[in-house]
Amino acid sequence: MEKKLKVGIIGTGRIGRVHTMSIMNQLPQVEIKAVTDIFLDSAKEWAAQTGIKTVYNDYKELLADPEIDAVLVCSSTDTHADIAIEAAKAGKHIFCEKPVDLTIEKVEAVIEAAKQAGVKLQIGFNRRFDHNFRKVKELIDNKTIGDLQILKITSRDPSPPPIEYVKVSGGIFMDMTIHDFDMSRFLTSSEAEEIYVSAACMVDPAIAEAGDVDTALITIKFKNGVICVIDNSRKAAYGYDQRVEAFGSKGKVEIANDYPSTAVWSTEEGVFSEKPLYFFLERYMDSFGEEMKQFVDALINDKETPVTGNDGLQPIKMGFAAKKSVQEGRPVKLSEIQ
């Protein structure tokens, strides 16, 4: 057997464990050489169960391990950029969870560090790899629906995060819409020119007190002329709502949610079916596996990663434009955001 690719995982919380399972289940050519977490005991217990042999006390030790080819940055958001920069300097390829950082400067610094070090950088915008969104992308790109004209993204969470989290999240546009901003760039293959937001706090007044909104309608003009609208809510009573409709000169494509079963039952009371999959991990499980597959493929076959550093940067800029639009009640050009 040829030499395996060796990776280290920094942060063994929920998403770090998901990536671990993706690698173990489907990427026999990859070995998870070591993990690290600030909650050391929990990390050790989990590593023992999964057969991972090395658990470092500090991510710096992991970065110092010369056998490790690549790292997955799965720590808390505020640490992403610093760790990624250090990883680049240590010559490790980097898979970094989103958002890379809440400031433009730091995201640019990560991109620059990776460039200087000549290491690959992939950002964890997993939805691009989802079976439904991928099919939409395919039908847009192969011109089945002609030239894209209108893009509508529905993205609603089943329930808002804790208020303490809302306060440090950078706000709905950085924390939640950021995925939709990425999706809009992915599907239009273009960059945003201007953003207008109509938003309000309708779900929980505590969110307003924390200086944020929880309901938003975001209109984006793209450079290639496509008009896009995203609608967000922090709380959809029926569960996680993740859909897209793309309309073009020759037709449209829509995707529905995924459901636990296809069962439809009819009684004297009406016709019924199940609610959409509620939990994002369950909903997007296949996408996490696929993004890891493509990250490893980029490393082994020396390709560009499918989600680049710039793909991490642009949605942050869009988030700032969205915020500004809410504050000033007017459309904001991306060129206003530095």
d(CA 63, CA 291): 22
- Taking the C-alpha atoms of residue 217 and residue 234, their distance in angstroms, rounded to an integer, is 12
Residue 160 φ/ψ, nearest 5 degrees: -70, 155
Task: Choose, by CB under 8 A, the member of 61, 191, 258, 297 that binds its own copies.
Answer: 258
Ranges within 60-79 binding its own copies (CB under 8 A): none
CA distance 198 to 130: 28
297-316 positions binding its own copies, by CB under 8 A = none
Q: Which of 149, 190, 294, 310 is the binder for its own copies (CB under 8 A)?
A: 149
DSSP-assigned letter for residue 295? H
| Minimum distance of its own copies from residue 338's CB (angstroms) | 22
- For position 145 contacting its own copies by CB under 8 A, the verdict is yes
Q: Does 142 bind its own copies (CB under 8 A)?
A: no
Select from 14, 60, 250, 303 the one that contacts its own copies (CB under 8 A).
250
Contacting residue, 53, 256, 303, 304, with its own copies by CB under 8 A: 256
Per CB under 8 A, the list member of 9, 255, 292, 326 interacting with its own copies is: 255
Size of the site for its own copies (CB under 8 A): 77
Give residues 158-187 in contact with its own copies (rule: CB under 8 A).
none
Nearer to its own copies among residue 64 and residue 150 (C-beta) = 150
Exactly one of 42, 48, 115, 163 binds its own copies (CB under 8 A); which one?
48
* C-beta neighbour count of 293 within 10 angstroms: 17
Out of 38, 206, 208, 229, the only residue in the binding site for its own copies (CB under 8 A) is 229
* 183-202 residues near its own copies, rule: CB under 8 A: 196, 198-200, 202
d(CA 168, CA 135): 34
The distance of closest approach from Cβ of residue 78 to its own copies in the complex, given in angstroms and rounded to an integer, is 32
Four-CA torsion 209, 336, 123, 133, nearest 10 degrees:
80
Taking each helix axis from N to C end, the angle separating 177-188 and 309-328, rounded to the nearest 10 degrees, works out to 120
Closest CB 60 distance from its own copies, rounded Å = 30
Answer whether 218's CB lies under 8 Å from 323's CB.
no
The first and second tokens of residue 56, run together, are 């470092």
247 binds its own copies (CB under 8 A): yes
Q: Minimum distance between the CB of residue 36 and its own copies, rounded to whole angstroms?
A: 21
Asked if residue 93 lies in contact with residue 119, where contact means CB atoms within 8 angstroms, the answer is yes
Distance CA(247)–CA(99), nearest Å, equals 29
